A and B are shown apart, each in its own frame.
Chain A
Amino acid sequence: MLKMKNITKSFPGVKALENVDFEVELGEVHAMIGANGAGKSTLMKILAGAYEDYEGEISIDNNKVEINNPIDAKRNGIVIVYQEVDTALIPYLTVAENIMMDYIIEGKEGTLISWNDIKGQAKKVISDIGLDINVNQTVNKLPLSEKQMVLIGRAVFQDAKYLILDEPTAPLSVEETNKLFDIVKKLKNEGMSIIFISHRLNEVFQIAEKITVLRDGKIVGTFDIDDMTIDKAVEKMLGKKLENNYPKVETKIGNTILEVENLSGTGGIHNVSLSVREGEIVGLAGLVGAGKTELCKLIFGEGNITEGEIRLKGKRIKPKIPAQAVRYGLALVPEERRKEGILVYESVETNITLPTLEKYCKGIFMQKNKIKQVSRELIKQVAIKTPSEKQLVAYLSGGNQQKVAVGKWFLSDAEVFILDEVTKGVDVGSKVEIYELIGGLVHQGTGALYASCEFGEILGLTDRIYVMYNGTIVKELVTKDTTEEELLYYAAGGGLGE
């Protein structure tokens, strides 16, 4: 039995976990659920040795163990398979070598490698867990689901007692998920304990025996699956409702601007249909991994559309690259602010005028004074706290960086704004200001598609909501007639059986 006791972990400014106790027995499948930011991944990362510093104790079979790095964890029989499987694989080496990596590193058999031995043992592992993968293939040629299997195989070979699967089914198809679950059941019957982090409650109820619910960094409780229902689980995950911090700008809703019909393409997006009207903020609600970012990017011309069409004001558009999408009148504020949304080592004015630079040019030359003037006006309008328009964006706070990323579109003639998790990592005060900004944008008669996994803000900000699950839209809801419970229910795949 593995016990975690009084675990506390802080990140700068946030307490991610507070006095968390957690227990798991051998031979059980234990699900770990909670809303985004509840702390479930942090807790499991501690167990897997991803953090050096945390408070609390971990013991296995009543013996205290020290886990401060992944090697400690492995030595104690704890292995984690992260959702990003590529972080743990060597792409150009074979399946056999990837499974047997630790065996080679420990090198008990000496300096020279016996490939027959390695391949033989890898084959045995593969067939033991009931798979059919050619061990001589390099892993970069495998589909994602099989890469996951290679990592599970590696854990099996290491005689892992506690296997943590972090959102393993998020990128998998139904068929692949079933295959994974067969393996999980098999390993469980052989005495392994599997901790299964998931947002997908229907899958949790399909496979787990026990559920531990986390909320805001604290344990709500551990429950037997038989005593729980999806509805109860959702209630436990949410706790009491958040207060309303959402200033809603009253705006008249007009004609449809953006229509998406049966869109399928890159990132597992399939059969997505949606529309956005003038003056409307449309929510795109979904848990992490539901495909919101992929959908936003697909509409914006990043990725390949295999089917379906996009219409802007009734005219069909086919953005092949983002630059075209901008010309059509779309604007995207991406999720990864520092990576994709702003140029951190450029000045505020450069960032602000970047998408609309053509307006401030005469021929091929930039008109410096005009740029300075519009930048100053916009800084005032959207209340960016900066000493001057020449300041590098890197030195602004997260909230102000985001105001630059959103605010710059005020200068554009964009018709539809696609906003992807724009308040991620932004403090509460700045969040409200960003909500006001977005309200101001649509007030000018444009439309906004607002993607977020924080359902509180979706409910506070939007007029209509599409719920995404597994790469497609599963439900359309009118904001004032729905609740957070209902959103979470559909976002966790709850409505699929209906």
Chain B
Amino acid sequence: MNNTKEKKFDLFAFLYKYGTILVIVATILFFSITLDNFLNFTNITNILRSISIVALIALAVTISLTIDGFDLSVGATAGFASVIAAKFMVIWDMGPVLAIIVPLIVGALIGAINAFLIIKMKIPDLLTTLSMMFLLTGVSITFQNGSAIYNYMPLPNNAGIAPGLMSEAYLFIGRGELLGLPVPVIIMLVVVILIHIFLNQTKYGRFLYMIGGNEEAAKLSGIPVSKYKLIAYMLSGLIASLGGLVLGARLGSGEVDAGGPYLMDAVAAAYIGFSIFGAGKPNAFGTLLGALLMGTLLNGLIMMDFPYYSQDIVKGVVLILALTLTYYKQRR
């Protein structure tokens, strides 16, 4: 019956599918024409490096979104991870192996606690993870004795300076290069690819989407819904921790407040990801492109001497546009 309608070019349908990509291409074109050194290798790696942490934390949010959940504690989890790593190395003078493994385990545990509160205690996801965000920030600041942890820091009660050092191997995560590419960028790309494969090529990934799309139908089809929700939140915590380690290694210090600002950018990137190719659902490459769009815009604007304190205006506008593309269509 609607056959005649199909053939007409539908501008909105086109924008729905390609709108965000067009914006990204237009942004890059605009900056590369107006700015001389925008498109050179150094600047491109700069952009990629700057988005790597946002992208990782955004991927954590993405995983929680696949089950129609929401993890607001990712920023705090990332910050906490950097603090744990720093404390292990600087204060307790232990090697990089524990300093990397323990934060990852803690991240997964935080996800498990979130999942427990959401599934068993029935607290709405947004409120659970909001509370967790406060809790973690507090725990972390207590754990770091109130201030950031860095090399040669003075210890409280005049106990001299911290005995340990940030390990070179650890710092390599945030600052090193492999084959001319910054290590954070490589980590980001690997995680994007892994999550993409997990979500699209394995049945477990499809379970997450099924739960997110229609929990009741998923349950009645025989998917153990609680189990996969738990897995999703644990993955979210784990990836957020990984983002925190990269952050800590790049800063060379550990402080929980460093993770906080990434939350909103990450949420924005994940939601912009919905609109890429009209996916209409959370997805790994979409999230990466979402982070890329934000990173490119900010990088270009900074190079054009756009005041840094006004950056959030740009982020807000971009997010609203992407959300419009995603949701306006759905409501019609």
Question: For window 66-125 of chain A, which residues contact chain B by CB distance below 8 Å?
Answer: 69-71, 86-93, 97, 101-102, 104-107, 111-113
Contact size range, A: 20 to 34
Question: For window 90-129 of chain B, which residues contact chain A by CB distance below 8 Å?
Answer: none
Are A107 and B280 also in contact (CB < 8 A) when A90-B218, A93-B213, A175-B1 are? no
CA distance A62 to B279 in the complex (A): 49
CA distance A89 to B209 in the complex (A): 12
CA distance A271 to B274 in the complex (A): 40
CA distance A284 to B327 in the complex (A): 37
CA distance A304 to B223 in the complex (A): 39
> Using an 8 Å CB-CB cutoff, how does the interface string of A48-73 with B read, 1 for contact, 0 for none?
00000000000000000000011100
Chain B hits for A90, CB < 8 A: 209-210, 213-214, 217-218
Residue pair B217, A89 in contact (C-beta under 8 Å): yes
Residue pair B203, A104 in contact (C-beta under 8 Å): yes
Are A111 and B214 also in contact (CB < 8 A) when A102-B221, A105-B223, A175-B1 are? no
Task: Tell me how far the C-beta of A198 lies from the nearest C-beta in chain B, rounded to whole angstroms.
Answer: 23
CA distance A104 to B207 in the complex (A): 9
B201 in contact (CB, < 8 A): yes
Are A111 and B203 also in contact (CB < 8 A) when A90-B213, A91-B213, A101-B221 are? yes
B222 in contact (CB, < 8 A): yes
Q: How many residues of B contact A (CB 8 A)?
A: 24
CA distance A107 to B210 in the complex (A): 14
CA distance A77 to B218 in the complex (A): 19
CA distance A285 to B62 in the complex (A): 49
B11 in contact (CB, < 8 A): no
Residue pair B221, A105 in contact (C-beta under 8 Å): yes
Are A138 and B280 also in contact (CB < 8 A) when A92-B213, A93-B213, A112-B202 are? yes
A140 in contact (CB, < 8 A): yes
Residue pair A107, B203 in contact (C-beta under 8 Å): yes
B229 in contact (CB, < 8 A): no
Task: Tell me how far the C-beta of B283 lies from the nearest C-beta in chain A, rounded to whole angstroms.
Answer: 10
CA distance A116 to B279 in the complex (A): 20
Chain A hits for B1, CB < 8 A: 175
Task: Tell me how far the C-beta of A89 lies from the nearest C-beta in chain B, rounded to whole angstroms.
Answer: 6
Task: Tell me how far the C-beta of B286 lies from the nearest C-beta in chain A, rounded to whole angstroms.
Answer: 13
Task: Tell me how far the C-beta of B69 lies from the nearest C-beta in chain A, rounded to whole angstroms.
Answer: 15
A70 touches which of B201, B209, B220 (Cβ 8 Å): B220
CA distance A104 to B206 in the complex (A): 8
> Using an 8 Å CB-CB cutoff, how does the interface string of A387-421 with B read, 1 for contact, 0 for none?
00000000000000000000000000000000000
Chain A hits for B220, CB < 8 A: 69-71, 88
Chain B's closest residue to A73 (CB) is B220
Question: For window 132-175 of chain A, which residues contact chain B by CB distance below 8 Å?
Answer: 138, 140, 143, 175
Residue pair B214, A87 in contact (C-beta under 8 Å): yes
Residue pair B217, A97 in contact (C-beta under 8 Å): no
Task: Tell me how far the C-beta of B110 lies from the nearest C-beta in chain A, rounded to whole angstroms.
Answer: 26
A93 touches which of B203, B209, B221 (Cβ 8 Å): B209
Task: Tell me how far the C-beta of B202 lies from the nearest C-beta in chain A, rounded to whole angstroms.
Answer: 5
CA distance A106 to B201 in the complex (A): 15
CA distance A69 to B216 in the complex (A): 13
CA distance A143 to B5 in the complex (A): 14
Chain A hits for B217, CB < 8 A: 87-90
Are A113 and B222 also in contact (CB < 8 A) when A90-B209, A93-B210, A138-B280 are? no
Chain B's closest residue to A107 (CB) is B203
CA distance A101 to B216 in the complex (A): 14
B152 in contact (CB, < 8 A): no
Task: Tell me how far the C-beta of B265 lies from the nearest C-beta in chain A, rounded to whole angstroms.
Answer: 24
CA distance A26 to B206 in the complex (A): 34
Question: For window 258-306 of chain A, which residues contact chain B by CB distance below 8 Å?
Answer: none
Are A87 and B210 also in contact (CB < 8 A) when A105-B223, A111-B203 are? no
B281 in contact (CB, < 8 A): yes
> Using an 8 Å CB-CB cutoff, how does the interface string of B255-282 with A read, 1 for contact, 0 for none?
0000000000000000000000001110
B34 in contact (CB, < 8 A): no
Chain B hits for A107, CB < 8 A: 203
Chain A's closest residue to B278 (CB) is A138
CA distance A87 to B218 in the complex (A): 10
CA distance A70 to B220 in the complex (A): 6
Are A89 and B214 also in contact (CB < 8 A) when A71-B222, A113-B201, A175-B1 are? yes
Chain B hits for A138, CB < 8 A: 280
CA distance A101 to B220 in the complex (A): 11
CA distance A138 to B274 in the complex (A): 14
Chain A hits for B218, CB < 8 A: 90
Chain B hits for A102, CB < 8 A: 221-222
B12 in contact (CB, < 8 A): no
Residue pair B280, A92 in contact (C-beta under 8 Å): yes
Which 6 A-B pairs have CB atoms at the shortest separation, nearest pair first? A90-B213, A92-B281, A70-B220, A107-B203, A88-B217, A92-B280
Given A92-B279, A97-B206, A112-B202; 17 other pairs, CB 8 A cutoff: A71-B222, A87-B214, A88-B217, A90-B213, A90-B217, A91-B214, A92-B209, A92-B280, A93-B209, A102-B222, A104-B206, A105-B207, A105-B223, A106-B222, A111-B204, A112-B203, A140-B330
**What are 23 A-B pairs with beta-carbon distances under 8 A?**
A70-B221, A71-B220, A71-B221, A71-B222, A86-B214, A88-B214, A89-B217, A90-B210, A91-B213, A92-B213, A92-B280, A93-B209, A93-B210, A102-B222, A105-B203, A105-B207, A107-B203, A111-B203, A111-B204, A112-B202, A140-B280, A143-B2, A175-B1
